[in-house]
């Protein structure tokens, strides 16, 4: 704007400020510049949410490292944090800060799943993780991360072996120091001719190779034999019918209480949880008589199907229970 127009505006519109000193206008300019805008408000809110998200991930990592239940974030950590901040600073500030940190059971589970998923890489890189297990000076078995490296070209067995070999050469360690090797069940790892194990056995003929992620077979073997698969589907249907309705769940608990059952609730089956089938089937079979009694009036057809397959149900329970025991031992859990 031209200086002459600005002078006219001051003398005609803001004539009461015509005699004000220069410092007055400088202070007015500084006040206007400090005024909050819509963009600055959104930017501050986004920044607070980002900090809360980072804090949520860090606390979830601590929960996982200490093997605590995921619900502890909501039931203990947040209330404890509120008591501390209320005592140490203003209550309104602490409430706002705590609300920006999501730590409920589902959120913590999601955060942990994301952090332990080694395939979550932003630029689609294939990351090779190698762990080493050895006996330390105190004669204790120790397991640590040996290295993590990107596979430049592809994820074939030859590329994986080349990455491992290059690391050992760089560290001046002989491959013959490897006594045993445990891998997952991917074809690029276990292939007889071009898999990683095949290349390793050529370099170290006496190495012992094992498959360590047996629990992945739970996901691979979704379809059992016809009869067993059908039996499992009836079990899942019965569990869902009871658990999906709060009324049915309450009535079933009362029935179990009247029958003096050791357990009063069923466990849901989750396909992606590797211990889920075994736990669900064990609980189901333990409450089998009460379940049959419960479905006597609600769903007679399902009741008959379950009764006819009681033997198959018991067989599945035994098999999956044994598989869970093996998997837990392989993970070092007794």
pLDDT digits (tens, 9 = 90+) for 84-114: 877 777 666 667 777 777 788 778 877 777 7
pLDDT digits (tens, 9 = 90+) for 137-158: 888 888 888 888 888 888 888 8
Q: Are 165 and 203 in contact (CB under 8 A)?
A: yes
| Cα-to-chain-centroid distance, residue 308 | 38
User: Alpha-carbon distance 218 to 323, whole Å?
Assistant: 9
pLDDT bracket for residue 214 (50, 70, 90): low
User: Alpha-carbon distance 292 to 289, whole Å?
Assistant: 5
Closest by Cα among 72, 70, 127, 74 to 99: 74
Q: Are 238 and 209 in contact (CB under 8 A)?
A: no
Q: pTM to 2 decimals? A: 0.43
């Amino acid at each position: 704007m031209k200086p002459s127009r600005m002078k006219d505006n001051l003398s005609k519109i803001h004539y009461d400020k015509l005699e004000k000193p220069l410092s007055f206008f400088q202070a007015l300019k500084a006040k206007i510049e400090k005024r909050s805008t819509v963009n600055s408000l959104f930017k501050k809110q986004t920044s607070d949410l980002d900090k809360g998200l980072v804090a949520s991930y860090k606390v979830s990592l601590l929960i996982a490292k200490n093997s605590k239940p995921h619900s502890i974030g909501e039931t203990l950590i947040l209330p404890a944090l509120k008591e501390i901040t209320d005592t140490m600073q203003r209550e309104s500030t602490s409430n706002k800060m705590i609300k920006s940190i999501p730590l409920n059971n589902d959120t913590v589970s999601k955060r942990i799943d994301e952090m332990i998923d080694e395939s979550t890489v932003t630029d689609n890189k294939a990351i090779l993780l190698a762990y080493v297990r050895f006996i330390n000076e105190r004669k204790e078995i120790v397991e640590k991360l040996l290295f993590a490296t990107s596979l430049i070209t592809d994820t074939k067995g030859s590329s994986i072996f080349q990455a491992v070999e290059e690391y050992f050469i760089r560290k001046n360690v002989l491959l013959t120091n490897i006594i045993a090797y445990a891998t997952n069940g991917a074809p690029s790892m276990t292939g007889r001719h071009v898999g990683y194990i095949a290349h390793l056995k050529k370099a170290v003929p006496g190495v012992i190779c094992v498959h360590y992620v047996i629990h992945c077979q739970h996901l691979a073997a979704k379809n059992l034999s016809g009869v067993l698969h059908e039996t499992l589907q009836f079990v899942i249907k019965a569990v869902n019918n009871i658990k999906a309705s709060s009324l049915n769940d309450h009535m079933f608990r009362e029935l179990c209480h009247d029958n003096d059952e050791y357990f009063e609730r069923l466990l849901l089956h989750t396909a992606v949880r590797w211990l889920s089938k075994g736990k669900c089937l064990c609980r189901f079979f333990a409450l089998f008589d009460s379940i049959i009694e419960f479905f006597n009036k609600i769903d007679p057809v399902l009741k008959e199907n379950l009764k006819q397959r009681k033997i198959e149900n018991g067989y599945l329970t035994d098999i999956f229970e044994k598989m869970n025991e093996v998997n837990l031992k392989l993970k070092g859990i007794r």
